Amino acid sequence: MAPETTAAAAAGSWTLGDLPVNRIGFGAMRLPQTGEAFAPDALPRDRDQAIGVLRHAVELGVDHVDTAAFYFSRLRSANELVNRALAPYPDGLVIATKVGPRRDPVTAQLPMASPQQLRGDVEENLRQLGRDHLDVVNLRVGGPGPIADHFGALAELREAGLIRHLGLSNVRPEHLAEARGIAPVVCDQNSYGLGYRRRQDEFVRTCGEQGIAFVPFFAIAGARRETGAGGSDHDEVLAIARAHQATATQIRLAWAVHRGPHVLVIPGTGDPAHLADNVAAGRQRLTEDELTRLERVHGEEPEPPG
């Protein structure tokens, strides 16, 4: 058995620009609350438990934490929890954040910031995290239109030294091409998972061909999205999980990791036991037969209308 501190390294590593990270990371979206993320009536998570989960994630070898200033509940902020739990930040810990949406605390709607507002959003992330620069800032895109003005504003902040690397979130292939014409892109975060959004398959391959990390969110929850994982799973997933003495969640994460060496997963949880299971998914080695069976599961997703 590998030492606990190497658990997140079992799936290998990738380099975001010049920042090496283990391919099993941690997403902070669920830390501020219990239940459905972004729900206006969500209950704040126990503060000590959230801080403990973050610290244990680092003990397990997680060195890539994904967060955002718009991840908050009535009493908890993901950024503040990250700061409280992990500062002074250990060498090698990469914190990625997102800007673009400005979340309404009452309605939970995420209207897009203007390009002029992005500097203030970056500075808010710096303040909450207690940093003098941000390792990675992803522009989360809200629709199909052009992103040049928004991405260009972040590129200027990168030139000013407030941001080290830039990425994208919730984008289409044309957005990636547009952004790369402005500044280097080190990663893309899109909603994707086993049996969920298989129309993203080609985009995942494109990112790999261009040396860009693909970071799927909702890799576990799939169509359940902000409500989180739950309910019954596909019989094939359960059968493979039994063969590996693993959970269905671990098999889903392992499948995502097998999509390519550039795929980084960021499962999030506020439960210490779930955290350990998620990180341990990096040790799963699926056979070619199992991958073929899971590919059939993936292919069962109905094509979207239109």
Residues tagged active-site: 71
The residues, any chain, with a CB within 8 Å of residue 277's CB and separated by 6 or more, are: 247, 249, 250
d(C-alpha 81, C-alpha 49), whole Å: 10
The residues, any chain, with a CB within 8 Å of residue 19's CB and separated by 6 or more, are: 94, 135, 136, 164, 165
d(C-alpha 95, C-alpha 26), whole Å: 10
- Amino acid residing at 266: I
Q: Is the peptide bond before 88 cis (omega within 30 degrees of 0)?
A: yes
How many Cα neighbours within 13 Å face the side chain of 231? 11
Beta bridge partners of 234: none
d(C-alpha 116, C-alpha 136), whole Å: 19
d(C-alpha 292, C-alpha 227), whole Å: 29
Picking from 1, 76, 70, 79, the residue whose alpha carbon sits closest to that of residue 276 is 1
Instruction: Specify whether the CB–CB gap between 243 and 251 falls below 8 A.
Output: no
Residue with tokens 């129309």: 199
Q: What is the DSSP letter of 111?
A: P
Instruction: Specify whether the CB–CB gap between 265 and 8 falls below 8 A.
Output: no
